[in-house]
Amino acid sequence: MKRIMFVCKKNSSRSQMAEGFARTLGGDKVSVTSSGLEASQVNPHAIEAMNATGIDIRGQTSNALSEFQPEEFDAVISLCGCGVNLPKPWVLRDIFEDWQLDDPAEQPEIFPRVREEVRSRVIELLAKL
């Protein structure tokens, strides 16, 4: 089983959607967690955007990256370009990618587009694993 960490600035939108897609699409082949450089709360617009796909992320929580150890993960994916700010052990995992997706938190109208970008990237990632 591959262990994936999705990281974003506040772990409220992009990383939460990625976690939801990876859990659903990866099934028992992956263990998935998301976190942020700082914790906040799951954005209601992210919950709504994912509900439109039939995936319920209401039970997910926002966590700080500092709560985890890098060696617990095989793949670390930054969704916001924050990879340059991650401590070195995080970027040295077997798989590290920095997807640099737009932040929909301040622009709710782009949630559907960003959600679909996240879904596409997660599908590609799962195929690699």
Q: How many angstroms separate the CA atoms of 80 and 66, rounded?
A: 17
Tokens describing residue 124: 């590609």
The answer to whether 7 and 79 are in contact (CB under 8 A) is yes
Q: State yes or no: is 80 an active-site residue.
A: yes
Of 80, 114, 118, 125, which is the active-site residue?
80
Coil, strand or helix: which one is 95? Answer: strand
- Cβ–Cβ under 8 Å, residues 1 and 75: no
Q: Rounded distance, CA 106 to CA 46, Å?
A: 12
Q: Which of 8, 65, 86, 101 is catalytic?
A: 8
Give φ, ψ of 96 to 5 degrees. -130, 130
Residue 82 designated active-site: no
> Which residues are the active-site residues?
8, 80
